[in-house]
């Protein structure tokens, strides 16, 4: 991973600073503002570290990350009053604040309504060029248009991998979910529905 062999590298010292992670299960500790939650990404803690004073460079990094995901106006707002979508974009900014080489996204849009999901996906599409990201999802509608490659897994088995347009097909997803599906792609975004869903049976 990142040029190192697992088991032969100090994960915390060598790999952790180069990896950002977003999961909807993260819960900040303490009464933090949006900016402070992003700041904890520099220390890898749930809350602000005791006896730690952020430098001006640290604060500049927070400002850049908030701008990158489009929530600069929320910097001073308490975390607990943010909507689910705003919290998820805050966690994305938190993951980006260290300028990682690899971004891991574990179902980042889970539980979001359509507008919040689209705002998050737009933010993911704006993430800096050159950053490798890996997104895990059960819904093709959550895949950003900038995605280049995909893999399908079922029951712990790798079923297919390659360019997104070659893997995310009607046949591929039908095999993966064991259900006849129709997959459509438009402007880099995918959608899926059950084949013949909604079609009324012919009258006898």
3-state DSSP assignment of residue 5? coil
Segment 15-42, tens digit of pLDDT? 667 788 898 788 898 899 999 999 999 9
62-97 burial, b if ≥16 CB within 10 A, otherwise e? bbbbbebbbbeebbeeebeebebbbbbbbbbbbbbb
**Residue 96 corresponds to which tokens in the numbers above?**
């980006």
Judged by average pLDDT, the poorest of 12-16, 45-49, 63-67, 81-85 is 12-16
The segment(s) of the chain belonging to CATH 3.40.50.300 are 11-139
Mean pLDDT in the chain? 89
Q: For the residues 133-148, what does the mean pLDDT come to?
A: 96
Say yes or no to pLDDT of 77 above 90. yes
The third-level CATH classification (topology) of the domain covering 11-139 is Rossmann fold (3.40.50)
Segment 152-174, tens digit of pLDDT? 999 999 999 999 999 999 999 99
Say yes or no to pLDDT of 4 above 60. no
> What is the structure's pLDDT at 1?
47
Say yes or no to pLDDT of 145 above 80. yes
Judged by average pLDDT, the poorest of 1-5, 34-38, 102-106, 182-186 is 1-5
């Amino acid at each position: 991973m990142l040029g190192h062999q697992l088991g032969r590298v100090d994960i915390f010292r060598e790999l952790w600073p180069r990896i950002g992670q977003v999961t909807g299960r993260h819960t900040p500790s303490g009464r933090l503002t949006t900016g402070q939650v992003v700041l904890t990404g520099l220390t890898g803690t749930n809350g602000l570290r005791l006896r730690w004073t952020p430098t001006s460079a640290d604060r500049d990094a927070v400002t850049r990350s908030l701008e990158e995901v489009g929530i600069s106006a929320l910097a001073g707002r308490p975390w607990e009053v943010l909507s689910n979508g705003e919290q998820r974009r805050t966690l994305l900014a938190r993951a980006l604040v260290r300028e990682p080489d690899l971004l891991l996204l574990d179902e980042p849009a889970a539980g979001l309504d359509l507008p919040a999901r689209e705002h998050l996906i737009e933010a993911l599409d704006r993430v800096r060029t050159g950053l490798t990201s890996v997104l895990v999802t059960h819904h093709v509608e959550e895949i950003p248009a900038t995605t280049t490659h995909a893999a399908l897994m079922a029951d712990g088995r790798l079923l297919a991998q390659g360019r997104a347009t070659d893997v995310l097909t009607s046949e591929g997803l039908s095999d993966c979910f064991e259900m006849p599906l129709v997959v459509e792609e438009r402007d880099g975004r995918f959608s899926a529905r059950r084949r013949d869903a909604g079609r009324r049976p012919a009258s006898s």
